[in-house]
Amino acid sequence: MIEIHNLGKTYPGRRSVPVRALADVSFECRPGEIFGLLGPNGAGKTTALRIISTALRPTSGTGRVMGFDIVADATAVRRNIGFLSSNTGLYGRLTAREVLTYFGRLFGLSDERIRARIGELSAVFSMSEFLDRPCDKLSTGMRQKVNIARTVLHAPPVMVFDEPTAGLDVLTSRSIVQFVRECRREQRTVLFSTHIMSEVEKLCDRVGVLHEGRLHFCGPIDELRSRYGADLDEAFVRIVGEAA
Amino acid sequence: MLAGVWTIYRKELVDTLRDRKTLVFMLLIPAAAIPLMFAGINALVQRAQRQTAVEVVRIASDADSQRRYVQLVHQWFLGTQLQKTFRLAASPLFGALLKPEQTAGATVPGEIFDDPAAFQRWTQGLARAAREGIDDPADKSAAAAQIELPDALRTELVEFYRVALKGLGLVEFIDPAVLAPPPPGFVAAAGRPGRPAVPGFERFEAALRAKELHGYLVIPPEAERIVDAVSPTVLITLIHDSTLRLSKEAGERVAYVVEQAGQRVVELRLAARQLDASFVLPLDMQGQSDLATESQIAMAIIGGILPYFVIAFAFLGGMYPAIDLGAGEKERNTLETLILAPASRLEIAFGKFLVILTTALIAAFAGLLSIVASVRYLDAPELLKEIQLELSPVTALLVALLAIPPAAAFAGLFLAISIYARSFKEAQNYIAPLQFVLILPAMAPMLPGMEINATLAMIPLVNVSILSKELLRGAVHWGYYVTTFLSCFVFAGACVAYAVRQFSREQVLFRS
């Protein structure tokens, strides 16, 4: 469960002129639901996701993940989140198994539990063939599988995806979309940021449309369609246009 | 906390040790640099020494000056103990100067003891025959050191080599009259003010510049009556140019001959007047009054140089992993994943600090071992070869442990810089110039009058370099030793604290 109330973020800009990245953003994301955060580049999506995952601190507002405050209980929040983006890197000189073991230990899992989880995830994502190869030698698709496995290794109830398919080929994107669906089936809370409308249509139950740091729409996909038209691209353009 | 640090340390160390560049900086360079340096310097020095030692120098001199010069060398020879040995025709001393195959037919002609000209011809023949077998007398691997001789004779043999063979046998005298006139437009240099005038100076200088000639010798007639008539000091002139290799060699050879021949004249004058050597040496310092043993003196010198290498290797060993563990994480997009794990920023920074400390220490120890091995098994510099170094295991351990403070200081500093930098290249740009700044304190012990005190013991790196010098010369200052560790660890701790702060700063973590 993710609950965000009046979230704001201002960065110190050049010559002491602050840059507002987020202002007064509120939404909720429930277990078994995929919430899509839509917006053009620079809308504030990544900032919002980083605040929720505790990489950044909000300037104003509050947020809770599985009941833990994103500022006061940052460590507890991290234990409950799996974070994935398209450009998340891996340690090239370590094997996939070593990377997974490292993160398992960082998340406090016992070595026995880590071994068991790697076995399970290797079967789910068909990784056994390349589990002991250095990550540098893996294809993009294989790396993304390792990344997904790393994200869910500690079985987090909340998943945060920051444009996870950006720059990936069709097959790899497809496997990620399937994985996101699987998360919903497993009753996880899924927050998904993208600017690809086809993914929104395929995946999201509810969406929030961000533009210049403000949330201009928040509700179910059907409501978005009924208010702004059936075509999601058109609807998105209309919302952004109205906001401007 | 400890479990988190251990997890990060273990992973980062494995990751770092799999990197070839790290292995090159951490092991290969420290291990290979010193042996290569020793081997290279020795090869160059020995080659230059051998080459110069057996080369013939050409000196312009009129017949009278040449005769007087030969007389001086002959007079010197007759005053040596060595000449008595040479009077035994099949002197075993030839074995010290010639190769075994050359010794077989070598004899000492009787006339060399009476006729200076015959002596000159003999030295020329001997010197040229022995050229291949002659090594510089400073080189203890020379034949002279390989046969059993009393010390006094061995010293005289070396002197004979320098005075009679190099100073006379390997000198070719040229009549100044046969020197070609200078080329048209040649302008002679004035030389130093007060330069002695010689006839036909322009022709001589043109030949000197053309490297056909290496010196111009003038010995006044007073040199012939020098033993009997106590005249004002006889000034011998050798015009040469010390910027030209063989001309400099000619200057040195003649100067040495003059010095030795002068001493011989003093002996003869004293003997003629039945005076003791103390007559001209009324005061002298008692030898062997220095409490420091040769080993301690050598250690004091080594102590000035050793910390420089240890600090430089610790720098090299820590630099690359530090850049990789901070800025490298940003560049590979792995930093965000790491900070989203439940490990605290302190655990992350400290784990990384320990890895950098480890690699810096491995490099420093590899360098130290390499220095020890090079001194022991390679052609070490003269000083180290001649003196039996005495180093107790405790001192050796204390010196080795002194690699820890600079390694810690570098690890902290590099980590802070690396985390601040936005890319690998930027971190390199910040750290590489530090080499020049941080190596300076390593040179502190080479400065005169630098001794450890309370203030210096608190300055990181300076304290390490001065303290290791003190340790090597045999002085253990426990208080300063502990202070040195503390000061470097406080510095490293401050740097790690700064790194932790940088790890918590959004502007730094997400700079791009």
B512 vs B45, higher pLDDT: B45
**A145 - beta bridge partners?**
none
Q: Is the pLDDT assigned to residue B135 strictly greater than 50?
A: no
* Interatomic CA distance for residues B4 and B335, integer angstroms: 16
Give residue-wise pLDDT tens across range B292-339. Answer: 777 777 777 777 778 888 888 999 999 999 999 999 998 888 988 898
Measured between CA atoms, how close is B7 to chain A, in angstroms? 7
Q: State the smallest CA–CA distance between residue B340 and chain A in angstroms.
A: 6
Residue A55, pLDDT > 60, answer yes
* pLDDT tens per residue across span A106-116: 999 999 999 99
In this complex, the residue of B19, B339, B510 whose CB is nearest that of residue A93 is B19
Measuring CA to CA, which residue among B12, B89, B27, B53 is closest to residue B170?
Answer: B53
DSSP B286: P
CA dist B266 and B389 (Å) reads 39
* Long-range contact pairs involving B46-54 (C-beta distance under 8 Å, separation at least 24): B46/B136, B46/B139, B49/B136, B49/B138, B49/B139, B50/B135, B50/B136, B52/B245, B52/B246, B52/B249, B53/B134, B53/B135, B53/B136, B53/B166, B54/B131, B54/B132, B54/B134, B54/B170
- Domains of chain A by range and CATH? 2-80+156-243 (3.40.50.300), 90-155 (no CATH)
Between the alpha carbon of residue B185 and those of residues B177, B181, B182, B241, B433, the distances in Å are 21, 11, 8, 21, 51
Q: Which of B23, B27, B3 is nearest to B15 (CA)?
A: B23
Tokens in use for B385?
A: 């070869």
Q: How do residues A166-194 score in pLDDT, each as one tens digit?
A: 877 888 788 888 889 999 999 999 999 98
pLDDT in tens, B278-289: 888 889 888 777
Between CA B247 and CA B58 the distance in angstroms is 9
Residue B131 has pLDDT above 90, yes or no: no
Span A88-129, pLDDT tens digits: 889 999 999 999 999 999 999 999 999 999 999 998 888 999
Which carries the bigger pLDDT value, residue B376 or residue A35?
A35
Specify the amino acid at residue A94.
L
Whole-angstrom distance, CA of residue A219 vs CA of residue A207: 6
* Cβ pair A36, A47 in contact under 8 A: no
Using CA atoms in the order B308, B313, B316, B318, what is the torsion angle rounded to 10 degrees? -110
The sign of the dihedral angle between the CA atoms of A36, A39, A40, A45 is negative
pLDDT of residue B136: 44
State whether residue A56 sits within 8 Å of chain B by CB.
yes
Q: What is the pLDDT at residue B140?
A: 35
**B150 alpha-carbon distance from chain centroid:** 29
Q: Among positive and negative, which fits the CA dihedral A110, A112, A117, A122?
A: positive
Identity of the residue in A88, A98, A106 whose CB atom sits nearest the CB atom of B341: A106
**Of the ranges B24-28, B82-86, B360-364, which is most confident?**
B360-364
Residues in chain B with CB shorter than 8 Å from the CB of A12 are: 507
The per-residue pLDDT for range A15-40, each reduced to its tens digit, is 777 888 899 999 999 999 999 999 88
Cα–Cα distance, A71 to B304 (Å, whole number): 54
pLDDT, position B88: 67
**DSSP characters over B414-468:** HHHHHHHSSSHHHHHHHHTTHHHHHHHHHTGGGSTT----TTGGGSTTHHHHHHH
The upper half-sphere exposure of residue B359, i.e. CA atoms within 13 Å in the direction of its Cβ, equals 39
For B95-253, list the strands marked E by DSSP. Answer: 171-174, 215-218, 237-239
Q: Which of B447, B476, B481 is nearest to B304 (CA)?
A: B447
Q: Give me the residues of A, 91-110, that contact B with CB < 8 A.
A: 91-94, 98, 102-103, 105-108
pLDDT in tens, B21-51: 888 888 888 888 878 887 887 778 777 766 7
Q: Please give the average per-residue pLDDT across B73-92, as a whole number.
A: 78
Which SS3 state, helix, strand or coil, does residue B223 take? helix
ipTM: 0.89
How far is residue A132's CA from residue A94's CA, in Å, rounded to a whole number? 9
